[in-house]
Amino acid sequence: MYDSSETENRTMSKTTTSPARLPRDQRRAQLIDVAMDVFADHGYAQTTMDEIAQRAAVSKPVLYQHFKNKRDLFFTLIDFQFDTLRDRVIERMEAVDPASNTADEETAYQAVCGVFDFVAEPRGLYRLILDSSMDEPEELEARKERFVSQMVEAVSPYILDNSILDPASSKFITRGIASVVMFLATRWAEEHVPGRGGAEPIPLEKAVEHTVRFVAYGAIGFDLSNNPSA
């Protein structure tokens, strides 16, 4: 299980030495940084604005100057994490040379690697997007759906290229692939991270390799080169 004591010690040492007054944008960034650790450690239901203010070494009025309430703060963090994950995956995919003979395989690898890199970070902030402790979670589910739709729009052209799929089918299959990769990545982060998970450890490189292979062999069924009569 993720050890929150290291996070708390790091956060406290970082925030308690902060200047008494910071420019508004810097203070907001600091509060977001601290709040991410608190929410990731305790989950939405068990997190309080009092604890966030204490960990950030500010008064509650200062915290409420930046965020209307706990829900507003939480969704700010959720949006930040989804943006971070999306940008990381897309940047890795776009870095692949499309003229390479192995461009398709490398693009798939980089996309999967981006997700695993995200969940592998020691702070365990990926747990924010898995939180299920919120009452009336419709808004959270809507944000998750928006994120998945953005990823489908970004990734589906790679699935569609040189395949038997029409655009609608490509998006349908891409949604399934995205769900599988996220499931495997988060299960790895929860259970198999060397030195952190409770189950038998699986190195990051091996987890990525297995996931890419799993996705790639499924995608073969839609490849024109393997379906000459399509």
pLDDT digits (tens, 9 = 90+) for 15-34: 444 445 789 999 999 999 99
Q: Which one is predicted more confidently, 66 or 7?
A: 66
Distances (CA, A) of 53 to 9, 14, 49, 62, 124: 15, 14, 6, 8, 21
Q: What is the per-residue pLDDT for 214?
A: 87
Q: What is the per-residue pLDDT for 230?
A: 43
Indicate whether this model's pTM tops 0.85. no
Q: What is the per-residue pLDDT for 111?
A: 92
Residue 224 has pLDDT above 60, yes or no: no
pLDDT, mean of residues 108-112: 91
Tokens representing 172? Answer: 């349908």
Residue 51 has pLDDT above 90, yes or no: yes
Nearest-angstrom CA–CA distance, 137 and 172: 25
Whether 52 contacts 38, CB under 8 Å:
yes
pLDDT, mean of residues 59-72: 96
Burial of 164 (0-12, 13-18, 19+ CB in 10 A): middle
pLDDT, mean of residues 207-212: 94
Q: What is the per-residue pLDDT for 220?
A: 61
pLDDT digits (tens, 9 = 90+) for 134-183: 888 898 899 999 999 988 888 888 777 767 788 888 889 889 989 999 99
Q: What is the mean pLDDT of the chain?
A: 85
CA nearest to 37, candidates 57, 19, 50, 52: 52
Q: With both helix axes pointing from N to C terminus, report the angle between 24-46 and 4-16 in degrees, rounded to the nearest 10.
A: 150
pLDDT, mean of residues 38-46: 96
